[in-house]
Structure 1
């Protein structure tokens, strides 16, 4: 088939580090358009990649120059732009969190279904080799019943890598809707659902702003989660880990403990009750730091879903279920109650 013509809406860091270079590297893609409200940035990126520059996403969507778009904008624009693109007959890859409410997420899914187009959410943690291997081990029954888990995703904060530094939309509640929980926590909610192979049903949380005095969104959050099978564990999301990034997950099972991205050399370590330890060297997790996996796989999976007309690896429904965990955490912090995750 002919190459898929792609436009990238929002030319900030995630577009520059992931979407743009990965589209260009994909032999099935022609990068035809880029859009950013900042005209200088739009023109610079367009010139770099030989694409058309737009400052209005509506103009791009109706240009006839694209078959699919990546939505890499501030969070509050994810739903309106994705819905407009789907209604314009385009496939959509949307960054996470997919929306700022369940209603927005449902509207995105409805627009994809009504127009027969692909909607994929950029939850790249599913494609990390150690995470995929852990899921296989759990599904095969080799780990036995899962009792507990803990997962954390933390770094020094977006100001170090966002194109706008401390002025970034990440720190503005009007545009971001949520801080570290939306940036990092939703990744780990999605990862737990994927690796454990079950839904999270109850959440209790503390969600604070205590590290960034210039921000009006959360920068530290710790949640207690309960799954449908009764496993309980914690999820921490932080912009206050000032040294090395932490992107680790530990799963405590009946027959083994699985340590994911917890050892600097071995991306998965399985410690069995009989004393056996198996260390897997599966390639580093992707990160904004050097040495991480260069290809997030998200772009390739999205392109494959269009090319082969198959369901995306992370469809809108999956993005919404992971968003629901974050929404429950925010509600728990507000009400000081344990909150059931809405279905």
Structure 2
């Protein structure tokens, strides 16, 4: 069987996770970054060719099966469309884009080229969250009444350089830090009907163009009432990403620094079990969500040949982008 050929566009910190999995499941035909040193370093580490422009990559390398897009948020649309037009399937890092319109353009390019467009939704593979999804599907918590999603991390002012902190390339805190957890909320509870809330820049006024703190009250289409609180101002390190769920037949709280531990459960006829604590993506002076890219790649490769396999696709990516966009449009920065 012929090995799959992968390419990686964008050679920053998250690209390492993709390169590790691409090398495990196939061969890396090339990596690309406009910062030559980054491309050279990743290429050297994985014994492949470095490219400094996307045009050169796709001119030189033919028959790329999957291209991973790991560039800044605001470039995901342009770079995904370039890969799709080069007849490559695409795995796009979160967020899919920073506007609903541009996400739809990506989907149209995938349809035009008859290629698949996947979006990284790695938090769905957190064991605690996957177990919660299972018992919700099985209706073991009965009618769901309410939830509270808290996302409290630390991002120091020194984190925000280059593209980070800009509306054009970063987009906002919900896009860059917390879109995985917005996706988890939609995955568990469905669509949002109405939004109210507040957004403020409390500490990063001189370095970012959007909020560092926010709170939203949500009414869901299924009748649930929810709360979403977020901040990147916790002292020195990440504090928690937690989800508290109250249902007719049980109450559950999943917490930890990245929604990785069952902290509380009291249910009528079920128990969340077989849960282990996985590692976070560690970027040196800050940490991110749980490192589940192994599960992302395993499931993506199944979905490549099985359209019924439950893997996060462009529709899932669009839903997350559209909700964040709605939150930002509904709640002005004050």
Please give the TM-score of this superposition, normalised by the length of structure 1.
0.86
Cα distance between partner residues in 1 of 2:162 and 2:259:
34
SS in 2 for 1:141: coil
- Residues 82 and 94, structure 1, Cα contact 8 Å, conserved in 2: yes
- Residues 152 and 188, structure 1, Cα contact 8 Å, conserved in 2: no
Cα distance between partner residues in 1 of 2:259 and 2:82:
44
Which 5+ residue runs of structure 2 have no aligned equivalent?
none
Pairwise CA RMSD = 2.7
Matches within 5 A, 1:108-119: 108-119=106-117
- Residues 266 and 280, structure 1, Cα contact 8 Å, conserved in 2: no
- State whether structure 2 residue 117 is matched by structure 1 residue 124: no
Cα distance between partner residues in 2 of 1:89 and 1:291:
32
The aligned length equals 326
Matches within 5 A, 1:134-283: 134-157=132-155, 165-176=159-170, 178-196=171-189, 198-212=190-204, 213-242=206-235, 243-262=237-256, 267-268=261-262, 271-272=265-266, 278=271, 280-283=273-276
Matches within 5 A, 1:18-97: 18-24=17-23, 26=24, 28-65=25-62, 66-97=64-95
Per-residue deviation, residues 23-43 of structure 1 (Å, max 9, x unmatched): 22x2x3111211111011111
Change (3 A) 1:159 1:121: farther
Change (3 A) 1:292 1:116: closer
Change (3 A) 1:277 1:321: closer
Cα distance between partner residues in 2 of 1:55 and 1:93:
20
Change (3 A) 1:317 1:265: closer
Following TM superposition, by how much is the alpha carbon of 1:185 offset from its aligned partner in structure 2, in angstroms?
Answer: 3.1
Per-residue deviation, residues 147-204 of structure 1 (Å, max 9, x unmatched): 11111223212767xxxx432422122221x2211113322221011122x2122222
- Residues 258 and 271, structure 1, Cα contact 8 Å, conserved in 2: yes
Cα distance between partner residues in 2 of 1:266 and 1:172:
29
- Residues 197 and 214, structure 2, Cα contact 8 Å, conserved in 1: yes
SS in 2 for 1:260: strand
Q: Which deviates further from its counterpart, 219-228 or 89-98? A: 219-228
Per-residue deviation, residues 220-240 of structure 1 (Å, max 9, x unmatched): 222222211110111223221
Q: Which deviates further from its counterpart, 38-47 or 109-118? A: 109-118
Q: Provide the residue aligned with 1:7 in structure 2.
A: 7
Cα distance between partner residues in 2 of 1:226 and 1:52:
50
- Residues 122 and 292, structure 2, Cα contact 8 Å, conserved in 1: no
SS in 2 for 1:280: coil
Cα distance between partner residues in 1 of 2:271 and 2:257:
12
Please give the TM-score of this superposition, normalised by the length of structure 2.
0.88
- Residues 284 and 293, structure 1, Cα contact 8 Å, conserved in 2: no
SS in 2 for 1:22: helix
Change (3 A) 1:306 1:158: farther
Matches within 5 A, 1:283-298: 283-289=276-282, 294-296=291-293, 297-298=295-296
- Residues 11 and 41, structure 1, Cα contact 8 Å, conserved in 2: yes
Q: Which deviates further from its counterpart, 107-116 or 236-245? A: 236-245
